[in-house]
Amino acid sequence: MRSVITRTALGCLALGVALTLSSCDFPGGSKSDAKKPAATAAPSEDDNWDQAVDAEITMLGALKDIDPHLIDDQQKAIDAAAELCKEIQKPSSDSAGLGQVAVTKFAELKSGLTPQQGDRIVTAVKANCK
């Protein structure tokens, strides 16, 4: 009697596992996958976050190439770049005067910036300004 119960229990267990696995949607596990259209990958919040971080790292690297002291306080550099970005995006912004705006925005980080450095800062920020 004990072996009958054991075999029945094992049979039920095996049946339960088989039903569970057959209901799972494994890639390539069923022919219905071929009928499904390819999903378009929408960017996730993680992707957007990664892109934003990558843009900041790229911008900080470009600022460091201009003058290493510009990124002594990275948060202040990012804040100054964000303010400069707002100026760049203004429809009425005079691109010739943006270099001086950059010198002003980054003056707290590095005094004595030249107009040429200001123009280079504008170029670095503009490349990552979205």
Per-residue pLDDT of the chain (130 residues; tens, 9 = 90+): 555 455 554 454 444 444 444 444 444 444 554 555 555 555 566 677 888 888 889 999 999 999 999 999 999 999 999 999 998 888 775 666 899 999 999 998 988 999 999 999 999 998 888 7
DSSP string, the chain: -HHHHHHHHHHHHHHHHHHHHHHS--TTSSTHHHHSPPPP-PPPHHHHHHHHHHHHHHHHHHHHHH-GGGGSSHHHHHHHHHHHHHHHH-TT--TTTHHHHHHHHTTTTSTT--HHHHHHHHHHHHHT--
